[in-house]
Chains A and B, each alone.
Chain A
Amino acid sequence: MNFKRISVVTAAATAGLMIAGTVQAGATFDAVKKKGYVQCGVSTGLPGFSATDDKGNWKGIDVDACRAVAAAMFGDANKVKYTPLNAKERFTALQSGEIDMLPRNTTWTFTRDTSLGLNFAGVNYYDGQGFMVSKKLGVKSAKELSGASVCIQAGTTTELNLADYFRANKMEYKAITYDSSDETVKAFEAGRCDMLTSDQSQLYALRIKLTDPNSAMVLPEVISKEPLGPVVRQGDDEWFNLVRWSLFAQINAEEAGVTMKNVDEMMKSADPNIRRLLGVEGVKGEFLGVDDKWAYNIVKQVGNYGEMFERNVGQGSALKIARGQNALWNKGGIQYAPPIR
């Protein structure tokens, strides 16, 4: 009897203390500064967004979101530690303070922004949900998919969009939900389901993981809006600002034509836009609580938005995704950042 009581109490206590601990630790910004690195929640392996390369280094645009913040704060993009999370674990990990920021191909939605105690700091990739089917099926459009079995990752907006789409088109489906996207690929490959649904960018990434990528095709339909971006805990505006403006700095750098290569020359540029961006004149890093050269460090070490995009998911990568909606606003896309001034 006593033992039972003790173990119940201990369990309750640990749960309570975990939450208590993070609150007492104070604002995230100060805590991160003090410990000297950013604890970054990423996916368990999604090429182009966050995955380890053959040397075990994390690569991807979500990884770069954390690296940019580290560059701004510490002047060193490598001061990041990674926590791989599956879709189900991610919000709890951020809420409980296990990680400082969560750039994990996470869709910005009303419920997530308002009821989870979290804030979305921006959009680093505009995505939309699509379908991948086996070429053997001979299907050309998602409208022909009534009665299909669908492999899907648990705990995503994808699950909800799928239900909406089939309901709206009066079609039937069977959803088989797995914990990780690797399992969905395995099941899709084994023919457990007729199609796999996920964000389009992921579909391209998952398709490379197939033994024979050419046996599958991605259907043209895009059935939802999926703005993906880094998430932080509510209640620390300083930290929120830093994460948000680290991304904006990259977008502004691309717009101004500042790249990893020419950033040192650009320090001498006469263009006031560039001079402000790189902290040569005008705005001060102290508004963000960091060094004046914060944006310089981001561009120097991580690159501007376009470089980051091409390197991880674009032409410089195996995914070869076109810029599309993710082009700058003045180049036909919707990536737009407020000015730095």
Chain B
Amino acid sequence: MADASPERETPAKPRLLSDPKFRALVFQIIASITVAAFVFFIVRNTLHNMESRGISTGFGFLDRVSGFGILQSLIEYNETSTYGRTFVVGLLNTILVSVLGVFFATIIGFIMGVLRLSSNWLISKLAAAYIEIFRNIPLLLQIFFWYYAIGFNLPGPRQAMSVGDSLFLSNRGLYLPAPVFESGFMATGLAIVGSIVAVIFLARWARKRFEATGQLFHTVYASLAILIGVPALVYFLSGSPMHLDYPSLQGFNFQGGVVVIPELFALVLALSIYTAAFIAETVRSGIQAVSHGQTEAASALGLRPSWTLRLVVIPQAMRVIIPPLTSQYLNLTKNSSLAAAIGYPDLVAVFAGTTLNQTGQAVEIIAITMSVYLLLSLIISIFMNWYNAKMALRER
């Protein structure tokens, strides 16, 4: 709200109704009351109508036994679990797809964005072709393509392709050996956590020393040595307390090991390739937004080209890249709800699909599902805003 102009000379009898401040206040109050009354009316009307038609309401159904199976579950789940648990299973499956999708989309997107600016004609045109093709085909079609084209053309489990009898690829998915931890594995776990903490401190120390003295330290090699060496040492000293559970063909299918189901594979592939095309454009625009003078200045100072990119261009480009990158992450998370189309058991398929249909409580379930996506998106936004603030230009 703009304040009344201070230059006004004589406040000639301020009538309340012509006072802009007061009027604005009145209108805002009226608008708020109208909106609140409207929402109240809608909610009451809906509840009343559902009651008068004998449609059951409330959240009691979350405690009832679901009685159906789910293809993939990250937590213990069976037919005797509750609808509340199906919700958690669906949510975790959605988060799994989103995290994997964001991870791969970021990597592919950054590589493609940089390649797009390559001075090599062929590379830059290939990157451009990739971006234009995948950005302009509807995502749902791409999901179907990867699912039907790849998932359905693999051999059956009895003719599965295998690598050394431990890795099997068939139309039932990719079966990998699963690690089984024994009782003495605790020490190794602690060693892993410890070495991660050590590496963080090392990196900080190296940076401080560099800023103070200008001396470089080989942080990358030292970190790798700590990360691999220490846990490995502890692992063997404690007597290798882990073995692998190999998948094997029994009856119709493989038993044991872990499986990447074709639905998950197709979905992650489609989501990351599609979103990466947008991220690539974001990255390209970010890099191009950094003035060429910066690169020239860096070379004038004698910085190597790789350093120029890492220390001068990327940090400045990130400020342009992060805000649109955030919305790409949000898009990817929301697009993961297309999973239902190929039978991947995500939140929409399991909860807003099967659970809704078995219980018939559409209003509650859709409300819960919408709030979950809202919450997921807000969490991503908060995290990216924090990261953005951290990367922002700071004066030293």
Query: Across the two chains, which residue of chain A brings its CB closest to B64?
Result: A111
Query: Across the two chains, which residue of chain A brings its CB closest to B345?
Result: A177
State whether the Cβ of B257 lies closer than 8 Å to any Cβ in chain A.
no
State whether the Cβ of A104 lies closer than 8 Å to any Cβ in chain B.
no
Choice from A145, A146, A156, A173 contacting B69 with Cβ under 8 Å: A173
What total of A-B pairs shows CB separation below 8 Å? 147
Query: Across the two chains, which residue of chain A brings its CB closest to B355?
Result: A155
Residue of A5, A190, A194 with highest tally of chain B CB at under 10 A: A190
State whether the Cβ of B179 lies closer than 8 Å to any Cβ in chain A.
no
Choice from B38, B67, B342, B362 contacting A160 with Cβ under 8 Å: B67
State whether the Cβ of A260 lies closer than 8 Å to any Cβ in chain B.
no
Choice from A5, A166, A186, A235 contacting B54 with Cβ under 8 Å: A235
A191 engages B79 (CB within 8 Å): no
State whether the Cβ of B116 lies closer than 8 Å to any Cβ in chain A.
no
A91 engages B253 (CB within 8 Å): no
B45 engages A5 (CB within 8 Å): no
On chain B, which size bracket covers the interface? 35 or more
State the Cβ distance, A253 to closest chain B Cβ, in Å: 33
B360 engages A148 (CB within 8 Å): no
* A154-212 residues at the B interface, CB under 8 angstroms: 154-156, 159-160, 162-164, 166-167, 173-179, 183, 186-187, 190-192, 194
A88 engages B262 (CB within 8 Å): no
Hey, which chain A residues are within 8 Å of B35, CB to CB? 5, 9
State whether the Cβ of B46 lies closer than 8 Å to any Cβ in chain A.
yes
A205 to B360: give the CA distance in the assembly, Å. Answer: 27
A162 engages B69 (CB within 8 Å): yes
State the Cβ distance, B68 to closest chain A Cβ, in Å: 4
A161 to B251: give the CA distance in the assembly, Å. Answer: 23
A20 engages B49 (CB within 8 Å): yes
Choice from B52, B71, B79, B253 contacting A163 with Cβ under 8 Å: B79
Hey, which chain A residues are within 8 Å of B172, CB to CB? 149, 192
Hey, which chain B residues are within 8 Å of A173, CB to CB? 69
State the Cβ distance, A115 to closest chain B Cβ, in Å: 4
* Contact A177/B251 with A115-B56, A154-B354, A234-B54 known, Cβ cut-off 8 Å: no
Hey, which chain B residues are within 8 Å of A19, CB to CB? 45-46, 49-50
State whether the Cβ of A270 lies closer than 8 Å to any Cβ in chain B.
no
Hey, which chain A residues are within 8 Å of B79, CB to CB? 163-164, 167
A116 to B54: give the CA distance in the assembly, Å. Answer: 7
A235 engages B52 (CB within 8 Å): yes
Query: Across the two chains, which residue of chain A brings its CB closest to B366?
Result: A15
* Contact A155/B357 with A16-B45, A117-B53 known, Cβ cut-off 8 Å: yes
A164 engages B67 (CB within 8 Å): yes
A138 to B247: give the CA distance in the assembly, Å. Answer: 23
* B27-63 residues at the A interface, CB under 8 angstroms: 35, 38-39, 41-43, 45-46, 49-50, 52-56
State whether the Cβ of A59 lies closer than 8 Å to any Cβ in chain B.
no
* Contact A115/B43 with A154-B357, A192-B151 known, Cβ cut-off 8 Å: no
State whether the Cβ of A95 lies closer than 8 Å to any Cβ in chain B.
yes
State whether the Cβ of B343 lies closer than 8 Å to any Cβ in chain A.
yes
State whether the Cβ of A233 lies closer than 8 Å to any Cβ in chain B.
yes
Q: Mark A132-156, 1 if CB is under 8 A from B, else 0.
A: 0000010000000111110000111
Hey, which chain B residues are within 8 Å of A284, CB to CB? none
* Contact A148/B354 with A9-B35, A173-B69, A235-B52 known, Cβ cut-off 8 Å: no
Query: Across the two chains, which residue of chain A brings its CB closest to B49?
Result: A19
A149 to B263: give the CA distance in the assembly, Å. Answer: 14
* Contact A176/B263 with A12-B39, A117-B55, A154-B349 known, Cβ cut-off 8 Å: yes
> What are 5 A-B pairs with beta-carbon distances under 8 A?
A19-B45, A147-B252, A154-B353, A160-B358, A174-B69
11 new A-B pairs (CB below 8 Å) besides A115-B54, A173-B69?
A: A13-B42, A15-B42, A91-B357, A117-B55, A147-B253, A155-B353, A159-B354, A179-B340, A186-B152, A190-B148, A235-B54
* 7 nearest CB pairs, A to B: A155-B357, A16-B42, A190-B152, A117-B55, A116-B360, A163-B79, A117-B53
